[in-house]
C-alpha cells in the first residue's frame, strides 16, 4: 500500500514549456486534490476532484488544468509554464462519506518545480 | 469564507519542555479542525483532528490539541518536546456546513516552524 504517489520528484522547465504532474492513490479514495506550497503562504488549493468524473477550481487555478483520469489518478498540467509557477506541488486524496464532511486528506511526497 | 491563522512563524523550545503551537480559525458553521506536520523535503503527515465531542484530542507522536469554541482556537500541544519534533506544522479547517449541497474544502494556515534545541 503506497498511499499517494507523485511523479516526478523534481523538474526544471523553461518559461513557456508544458508539463504534466502525475498523482496516483491506491487507497480507493473518491476525492483528490492539487495544492501548491510557497514560502510563508501555506498550502493553496489549485483544483480538486470530489469524485471520479468531476473537477472544480480551487483558490489558485489560473495557468493550470487537471484531468481525473480514473478513480486512482489525478493529473495537473501546466500548458505554458511561468516563473510564478515555481513551487512545490502536493497531491492529496481522501474518502468522502456520502452524507458527511468527516474526512481526512492524505498527502503525497510532493513535486518540486523550478521554472526559469 | 473560512480562514485559519497561525500567529507565530517560528516557535523555539528546549528538549524536554512543553510546547504549544497556536492556531485560531474562522468558519460560518461548526468546524472540522486538523493538524498536519511536514518534515524537511517530505509531504504533509496527518497528526490529529477535531470533529466533535471531547475538546482535548490526542494524536500521533504524543501530540494533542485543545479545541476552544469561545476563543475559536485549536492549539497544538505536547508535554515534553523532542529534537525530532522539529518540523513545519500546519493547522487546517473545514467548514462543517455544506454550501448549496456542494463540496467544501480544507483551508490551511501559513505554517509554524517548530525548532526544538537539545
With a cut of 50, say whether residue B100 has pLDDT above it. no
Give per-residue pLDDT as tens, A37-82.
998 888 999 999 988 889 999 989 999 999 998 999 999 999 999 9
Residue in B9, B113, B24, B10 with CA at minimum distance from that of residue B69: B24
- B35-63: average pLDDT: 91
Residues 66-105 of B with CB under 8 A from A: 90, 94-96, 98, 103-105
- What pLDDT does B65 receive? 97
Whether A104 sits inside 8 A of B49 (CB atoms) is yes
Percentage of chain A modeled with pLDDT above 90: 76
Whether B44 sits inside 8 A of A101 (CB atoms) is no
| A99-103, B28-32, B41-45, B53-57: least confidently modelled range | A99-103
Cβ atoms of A109 and A7 within 8 Å: the answer is no
- B33-40: average pLDDT: 94
Percentage of chain A modeled with pLDDT above 70: 95
CA distance A40 to chain B (A): 6
Higher-pLDDT residue of B24 and B102 is B24
Cα–Cα distance list, A87 to A31, A110, B38, B87, B92 (Å): 23, 10, 16, 19, 20
CA distance A28 to chain B (A): 18
Distance from C-alpha of B68 to C-alpha of B55, rounded to nearest angstrom:
7
A90 CB neighbours in chain B (<8 A) are 43-44
Distance from C-alpha of B96 to C-alpha of B90, rounded to nearest angstrom:
19
- B20-45: average pLDDT: 91
The residue of chain B nearest to residue A4, with distances taken between CA atoms, is B43
Instruction: Assess whether the previous peptide bond of A8 is cis (omega < 30° from 0).
Output: yes
Q: Cell 486524496, residue?
A: A93
Higher-pLDDT residue of B18 and A69 is B18
Whether B109 sits inside 8 A of A42 (CB atoms) is yes
Local structure of residue A97 (DSSP, 8 states): -
- Is the alpha carbon torsion for B81, B84, B86, B88 positive or negative? negative
With a cut of 50, say whether residue B101 has pLDDT above it. no
With a cut of 50, say whether residue B40 has pLDDT above it. yes
Residues ≥6 apart with Cβ < 8 Å to B82: B15, B116
CA distance B66 to chain A (A): 18
- What pLDDT does B1 receive? 76
Whether B110 sits inside 8 A of A41 (CB atoms) is yes
What is the end-to-end Cα distance of chain B in Å, rounded? Answer: 41
Amino acid at each position: 500500500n503506497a498511499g499517494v504517489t507523485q511523479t516526478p520528484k523534481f523538474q526544471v522547465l523553461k518559461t513557456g514549456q508544458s508539463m504534466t504532474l502525475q498523482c496516483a492513490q491506491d487507497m480507493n479514495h473518491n476525492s483528490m486534490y492539487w495544492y501548491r506550497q510557497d514560502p510563508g503562504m501555506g498550502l493553496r488549493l489549485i483544483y480538486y476532484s470530489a469524485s471520479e468524473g468531476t473537477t472544480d477550481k480551487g483558490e489558485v487555478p489560473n495557468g493550470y488544468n487537471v484531468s481525473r483520469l480514473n478513480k486512482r489518478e489525478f493529473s495537473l498540467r501546466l500548458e505554458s509554464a511561468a516563473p510564478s509557477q515555481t513551487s512545490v506541488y502536493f497531491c492529496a486524496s481522501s474518502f468522502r462519506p456520502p452524507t458527511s464532511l468527516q474526512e481526512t486528506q492524505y498527502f503525497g511526497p510532493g513535486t518540486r518545480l523550478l521554472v526559469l | 469564507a473560512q480562514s485559519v491563522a497561525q500567529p507565530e512563524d517560528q516557535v523555539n523550545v528546549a528538549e524536554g519542555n512543553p510546547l504549544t503551537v497556536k492556531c485560531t480559525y474562522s468558519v460560518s458553521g461548526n468546524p472540522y479542525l486538523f493538524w498536519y506536520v511536514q518534515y524537511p523535503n517530505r509531504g504533509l503527515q496527518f497528526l490529529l483532528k477535531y470533529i466533535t465531542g471531547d475538546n482535548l484530542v490526542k494524536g500521533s507522536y504524543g501530540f494533542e490539541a485543545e479545541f476552544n469554541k469561545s476563543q475559536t482556537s485549536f492549539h497544538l500541544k505536547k508535554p515534553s518536546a523532542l529534537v525530532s519534533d522539529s518540523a513545519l506544522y500546519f493547522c487546517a479547517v473545514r467548514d462543517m456546513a455544506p454550501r448549496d449541497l456542494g463540496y467544501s474544502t480544507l483551508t490551511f494556515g501559513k505554517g509554524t516552524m517548530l525548532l526544538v534545541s537539545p
